[in-house]
Chain A
Amino acid sequence: MAQRICIVGIGESACGNVPDQTALQLHQQAAHAALTDAGLGKSDVDGLFSCGADWTHPLLLAEYLGLRPRHVDSTQIGGASWELFVAHAVAALQAGRCTVALVVHGSRARGEARQPRSGGTVPRPPRGPEQFEAAYGLTLTGKFALATRRHMHEYGTTSRQLAAVAVAANRWAQRNPKAFHHGTPLRLEDALRSRMVADPLRRSDCCVRTDGGGAVVLTTEERARNLRRPPIAVLGSGEAVSHLHMSQWSDLPDLAARDSARRAFEQAGIHPAEVDVLQIYDAFTIMVLLSLEAMGFCGRGESGPLAESGALDPGGALPTNTDGGALAAAHPGMRGVFLLIEAVRQLRGECGDRQVPDARLAVCNGVGGYLSSCATVVLGR
């Protein structure tokens, strides 16, 4: 039987509004913090997992960090890439292709924004399949709005239920001093009155835009025993890809997490009912609802009423996005790594006011692109 692989270190760079630092600098800070947390050093890293800063990202990042890794992975499936990296790092560590895996992200998404938060269409000559889409002005938020409207049509999901997702994230953020919206409570009525961006999605349905970086370090359970922190085991993982363009998503709004979560849960030998804490990629409120249904935490069409019941809130039956999520805590371009960091903190019992009591089993569901890809990771102690 393959060796168990554990997350042994987590770390973040400066986050929020960081105008005086570069994206590469944020990678380095996060990596240094995570390795220090683990009780490891730069010279221990021989596997590098990261994407997003450049076309030849692993070359640029390894050079900048002064690393000569013997295993690299730069698979780019959007914000879910960091959950995918955990899955790929487990395989690489088990196969002996590396001994210490560094999974890292850094971004100046806030500072380097080329477009407004609504995700205005980026002007570039539309080649290939994009030539059948670009002239119609479908924005980033508009793509998620298409999925939301369809879910409303099929299941009667309401704007109030979407707003409940945003309010739950904001309530968690009030317990996280590092959250972007800490100290800025959001009431349901205010969410429902926030400006329309792409009907039916309002401003309150959209994430914050921040700078920042994060990292996790993985190694074998055997090596983890001698390190500083209690190891958090990767019990299962899965990935799935469904489309790039909304018109090509044949089973819209059925999220690919249906497949990635089934694979992860089967590998871990768990059922949704056993999960203590959930981290779901929430750049838009609809992502939480679609993920809950696709992963089997509720039935089709039941996610809206579930959110409205307060299940996702502090003290609820399904504590979700306990750091405040992308909606209220942090979203530096791509958020995947922060799901892992918060899940590990919960399982270590380091979360203070927002700690889920006796959390033993956590699930992270990364969602990338335009609801295009999912990667699911099951973590436990």
Chain B
Amino acid sequence: MTSKAAALAAHLPVIDAESQPFWAGTRRRKFLLRHCNACGRNHFYPRHACPHCWSAACEWRAAAGTGRIFSYTVIHENDSPPFREWLPYIVALVDLADGVRVTTNIVECTPDAVHVGMPVEVVYEDITDTVTLPQFRPLNPF
């Protein structure tokens, strides 16, 4: 276990039947979405049945892994470990090209550079043997 894993232990996912394929996916560097074969829409976070039409005819599909920042905040106060050691840090809602919105940190980016609409791409960090955490960083920083 990495030191980051120890620090984040209380905040790491309790993997369940609905989420297991997603976390297996991030270990293989894939960001898996649920695609509904009845209504054609994607959704995230993953549910067994589609939240748009309630069809159970859903399958896992790999997202392109790119998107744009819909909104963000720079956290300056958080007394909880381990986050208090990481201040200030960026939390964003990212709209993936595949039509879903995810919560994430924006890494490899300073608080004064982040902005709404910024193109970003997924990066993966192995935290434990079972959890690989997806985060996003600016796309084409140049």
A-side residues, CB < 8 A to B, are 115-116, 118, 120-129, 131-139, 141-142, 145-147, 149-150, 153, 195-201, 245-248, 252
A136 and B91 in contact, given A131-B19, A145-B73 (Cβ under 8 angstroms) = yes
Chain B residues with CB below 8 A from A122, complex form: 80
Instruction: For the complex, give the distance between the alpha carbons of A128 and B86 in Å.
Output: 26
B78, A137: Cβ atoms closer than 8 Å = yes
B73, A198: Cβ atoms closer than 8 Å = yes
Q: Which residue of A lies closest to B117 (CB)?
A: A153
B123 CB, nearest partner CB in chain A, Å: 13
Nearest first, the 8 A-B pairs at minimum CB distance are A131-B13, A118-B77, A145-B73, A137-B83, A199-B74, A120-B80, A150-B71, A123-B10
Of B73, B80, B102, which contacts A121 at CB under 8 A?
A: B80
Chain B residues with CB below 8 A from A142, complex form: 73, 75, 91
7 residue pairs A–B, Cβ–Cβ below 8 Å:
A116-B77, A118-B78, A132-B19, A133-B103, A137-B89, A146-B93, A252-B70
Instruction: For the complex, give the distance between the alpha carbons of A199 and B78 in Å.
Output: 12
B-side residues, CB < 8 A to A, are 8, 10-16, 19, 44-45, 70-80, 83-84, 86, 88-89, 91-93, 101-105, 111, 116-117, 127, 133, 135
By secondary structure, the A interface counts as mixed
Chain A residues with CB below 8 A from B102, complex form: 132, 247
A135, B133: Cβ atoms closer than 8 Å = yes
Of A124, A146, A195, A252, which contacts B73 at CB under 8 A?
A: A146
A126 and B11 in contact, given A142-B91, A146-B71 (Cβ under 8 angstroms) = yes
Instruction: For the complex, give the distance between the alpha carbons of A145 and B90 in Å.
Output: 11
Of A123, A132, A141, which contacts B80 at CB under 8 A?
A: A123
A247, B101: Cβ atoms closer than 8 Å = yes
A132 and B13 in contact, given A246-B93, A247-B102 (Cβ under 8 angstroms) = yes
Chain A residues with CB below 8 A from B8, complex form: 135
Chain B residues with CB below 8 A from A137, complex form: 11, 75, 78, 80, 83, 86, 89, 91, 105
Instruction: For the complex, give the distance between the alpha carbons of A310 and B68 in Å.
Output: 36
B78, A139: Cβ atoms closer than 8 Å = yes
Instruction: For the complex, give the distance between the alpha carbons of A200 and B72 in Å.
Output: 9
Q: Which residue of A lies closest to B102 (CB)?
A: A247
A149, B116: Cβ atoms closer than 8 Å = yes
B103, A138: Cβ atoms closer than 8 Å = yes
B76, A199: Cβ atoms closer than 8 Å = yes
A198, B12: Cβ atoms closer than 8 Å = no
Of B10, B92, B127, which contacts A124 at CB under 8 A?
A: B10
Chain A residues with CB below 8 A from B15, complex form: 131
